[in-house]
Structure 1
Amino acid sequence: MTLLNRFLRRLRRQFLESSALFLNIIRWTLLATIVGAIVGGSTALFIHALHGSIHLLHKLPYYFFLLPVGLWLSTYMIKLLAPQAAGHGTEKVIDAVHRREGRMYPGDAPVKLTATVITIATGGSAGKEGPAAQIGATLASLFADIFRLNKQDRKKLVICGISAGFAAIFSTPVAGALFGVEVLFLGQILYEILLPSFVAGVTAYQVSSWLGANYFWDPLQIPDVINEALFVQVIFSGVIFGLVAILFIEALKWGHRFFQTFKDRPHFRPLFGGILLVGFGLLGASEGLGLGVDSLERVLSGESCPWWLWIFKSVATGITLGAGGSGGVVTPIFVVGASAGSIWGRIIGADPALFAALGMVAVLSGCANTPIAASVMGLELFGPSFGPYGAVVCVVSFLMTGYRGVYSSQILARQKSEILTAPLNQPIPSEGKVSLEFDTRKKFVRIQHFFEDFRNWIRGVKFWRH
């Protein structure tokens, strides 16, 4: 009788546990589906408004002459109507998750949408994923408030909004879901939000696709058998792409610091930034203005691009966002990475289309500190044969950038390397710097340990003894 009672108690406990988990799965599937549908619809509206405005204004021969006015309008629209919506979107959402339990301001969505359309349509160098993530997170936060969900549930739904916005904007449901849960912390993934993020990402992708918002991606023709020589090239290319990512990050910081000198006369800041970009356009660098999707499509198809495109796109994005323009950073990252990869592929005598794709995902990995999401994006966009090469180049680029990133609100949860450390559970260092003090009582890098370990390893390798 005692054994039977124990068995029944265990069976009852197991039944209650499984039932609770099942009901929780059903609950979050339903909530994430609703949020994904809302974000997918709003993202499609945003994309159509943006592309329609671009198509209309770019019929003008010198459309970028509107840049000073466009930057001024977007800057003061945000300043007067939604000052908390300034910046490149995703950064504000990360900050809201870490500091305000995911609470967003309802007025951010329409203001961010309009300001971004004005910035990019007039020629500002910015992307569309940041505003899509901010709009999606704002609608998710509003949905949580309407149904009076608690703080933890609201935070989860806001993260689902990031995933859904990214998935819908780039037609990458799995990578979008992973991006939302990976971008919050450097070195840590929130597993409890994986299911709702996947559901929201897939739903947003489907809804936006039904509404006609699609990207141009095509799989690459790569042999299924891994080529060892190409694999070695890819590893060393990851170092190059890491350096390109550092340049992009520093260009954004330079733009912010440069335009801070206008704080006594803030109304001159967007006007001067617009005039700088107009000057670049007149000098023949208009290919680096706007979204840059046409240039991205060309280099991914194997066509050549100007050698300076990746440099100018980095500087133009820093000027646009530093001057007060509204927009994201991932689309410019794609253009920078793909153009640099295409040029690098031609230099080493490799397939420029393949290395453009590798550069695109690798620079994203290094800039955003999201190697897993970037690797999966490569699989989704360019096919399964791209997987091994994409994964290794993303990880190498991620390591090369050190403790830098385009999202300074990211919390450092794990060290990137045992030879280079920084304080944990704090935002990543804004300048990408770590202390080089050689005090063993402090948790800082000791470079000499690396050389000592390497020398000991060489001495201990057996083939040296023969």
Structure 2
Amino acid sequence: MAYHFLTTLKAGLSKKNIVIYFVKWTILSAVIGSFIGTTSALFLYLLEHITEFRSHHIYLLYFLPIAGFLIGLLYYYYAGRANKGNNLLIDEYYTPKAIIPFKMAPLVLLGTLVTHLFGGSAGREGTAIQMGGAIADQFSRLFSLFSIDRKTILLIGVSAGFASVFGTPIAGTLFALELMLVGRVKYKYVYPVLLSAVIAHIICLQWGITHTAYKQNTTLPFDLLSIAKVSLTGVAFGLAAIIFIKLTDFCNKTLTKHIVYPPLRPLIGGTIFVLLILIIGDFKYLGLGVPTIEESFFVQQSAEVFLLKIVFTAITLGAGFKGGEVTPLFFIGATLGSFLSIYLNIPVDILAAIGFVAVFAGATKTPWACTLMAIELFGIENALYFALACYIAYQVSGRQSIYKSQKWP
């Protein structure tokens, strides 16, 4: 990758211009990465305390519909273009029209914190990416709206946001590159995108933020039987990604069709969410669900766990609450892998780890970013199985994606 990047760069730049290129993007990546890393640290700090507060005040769940209505009002009257979320970043990458409005950052931060405070089943990557993209794109005012520099800035925002919120700078880099064009990676962007991801990650850590450490210690033997088993799970993870995408789209389209006034959609969706939680009588589907993800690595989960997380997340996001899909996808994948482990005679921690990234790969069309994320989180010992499951899930899920504006070659 490094050789390809350098030869491509040299082909279009003189030695003098190469020096200017590295100086310019070193400074910009450092500055932007620092801003985004600091913002992510603030977000994670607030999210941790809000989650802890809700866990000790479970009655807050009853106010989720009202919270949803307030989020709906805020976005309906003030968000404008920012209401498109992650898809606006992708659209601006391909068909630039205007700088991403800075208000996207505080709006999604507030919307996500309110969603989690009252128990909505959502993630955090969407928030980090949107904040990163909005902050980074303010620096695009230094360049032409239609220049390659502006594309680089947008990629920097995505990678720095993703890397700092999950603690995975290499995966964050490739995620940004895969996100914009499925199946292709443009090497000319690698240096500034990687540097910003690393700096954002370091800055976030410097603010005292710690990321969840998932305990995966077993190594799966490399043999034909194990390859066949993991391949089979890759199919299951790809199907889970499809179910998640389809159900989220169904909830969104149904509420949009039958409820004309947008702020009422999260009100109705939140009411349905609360009623279902009370019927089930289990609160582990609220918020991120990190404790259940951790548990799935050493305790086999039952079949309904991943299915119910799909349902509750689809209702939350489909109704218009804010957050992201990725951590719920981690939950779905890890618990599905944990459930399948006993039937395939694979150690539970390995299959939970594989599912953790593979469902994510199928839903976002970023199989190599997910493979690298698995290596950063769990080590390199099972890297071939991570890659195999992620790629199969990506293929099985077809062109279904949580990001509707993604482009295909």
Tell me if structure 2 keeps the 8 A contact 1:160–1:197.
yes
Quick one: which amino acid aligns to residue 340 of structure 1? L
Match of residue 55 from structure 2: 58
Q: How does 1:38-187 map to 2 (within 5 A)?
A: 38-86=35-83, 89-100=85-96, 103-145=99-141, 147-148=142-143, 151-152=146-147, 153-187=149-183
Q: How does 1:190-201 map to 2 (within 5 A)?
A: 190-201=186-197
* Corresponding residue SS for 2:210: coil
1:343–1:29 CA distance, 2 compared to 1 (3 A): same
Alignment equivalent of 2:211, drawn from 211, 215, 218: 215
How far 1:267 moved relative to its partner?
A: 4.0
Q: How does 1:229-244 map to 2 (within 5 A)?
A: 229-244=225-240
Match of residue 285 from structure 2: 288
Distance 1:20 1:101 in 2: 29
Quick one: which amino acid aligns to residue 27 of structure 2? L
Tell me if structure 1 keeps the 8 A contact 2:241–2:362.
yes
Tell me if structure 2 keeps the 8 A contact 1:280–1:286.
no
Count of residues in Structure 1 that have an aligned counterpart in Structure 2: 397
Quick one: which amino acid aligns to residue 180 of structure 1? A
Choose 1 or 2 for highest CA Rg: 1
1:106–1:73 CA distance, 2 compared to 1 (3 A): same
| TM-score computed with the length of structure 2 as normaliser | 0.92
How far 1:102 moved relative to its partner?
A: 7.1
Q: Which moved more, 1:68-77 or 1:304-313?
A: 304-313
Tell me if structure 2 keeps the 8 A contact 1:262–1:268.
no
Tell me if structure 2 keeps the 8 A contact 1:338–1:356.
yes
1:96–1:150 CA distance, 2 compared to 1 (3 A): closer
Distance 2:56 2:110 in 1: 20
Tell me if structure 1 keeps the 8 A contact 2:309–2:331.
yes
2:22 pairs with 1:28: no
Alignment equivalent of 2:185, drawn from 171, 185, 189: 189
Quick one: which amino acid aligns to residue 296 of structure 2? V
Q: Deviations over 1:153-200 (max 9, x none)?
A: 222111110000000111001000110111111111122111111001
Quick one: which amino acid aligns to residue 307 of structure 2? I
How far 1:346 moved relative to its partner?
A: 2.1
Distance 2:301 2:277 in 1: 16
Q: How does 1:353-432 map to 2 (within 5 A)?
A: 353-413=349-409
How far 1:109 moved relative to its partner?
A: 1.0
Distance 2:89 2:32 in 1: 16
Quick one: which amino acid aligns to residue 319 of structure 1? I
| TM-score computed with the length of structure 1 as normaliser | 0.81
2:254 pairs with 1:258: yes
How far 1:219 moved relative to its partner?
A: 5.5
How far 1:282 moved relative to its partner?
A: 0.8
Match of residue 340 from structure 2: 344
Distance 2:154 2:66 in 1: 33
Q: Which moved more, 1:249-258 or 1:283-292?
A: 283-292
Quick one: which amino acid aligns to residue 184 of structure 1? M
* Corresponding residue SS for 2:193: helix
Q: Deviations over 1:94-139 (max 9, x none)?
A: 1222222672001111111101110122111111111111111101
How far 1:313 moved relative to its partner?
A: 1.3
Match of residue 3 from structure 2: none
Quick one: which amino acid aligns to residue 289 of structure 2? G
Query: Whose RCO is larger (CA < 8 A, sep 6+)?
Result: 2
Tell me if structure 2 keeps the 8 A contact 1:219–1:381.
no
How far 1:269 moved relative to its partner?
A: 1.8
Q: Which moved more, 1:60-69 or 1:116-125?
A: 60-69
Distance 1:370 1:102 in 2: 27
Percent identity between the two aligned chains: 31
* Corresponding residue SS for 1:207: helix
Distance 1:223 1:55 in 2: 34
1:225–1:281 CA distance, 2 compared to 1 (3 A): closer
How far 1:324 moved relative to its partner?
A: 1.6
Unaligned runs of 5+ in 1: 1-12, 414-466
* Corresponding residue SS for 1:186: coil
Distance 1:37 1:268 in 2: 38
Tell me if structure 1 keeps the 8 A contact 2:358–2:389.
yes
Tell me if structure 2 keeps the 8 A contact 1:39–1:165.
yes
How far 1:213 moved relative to its partner?
A: 2.3
Q: How well do the aligned residues superpose, as a CA RMSD in angstroms?
A: 1.9
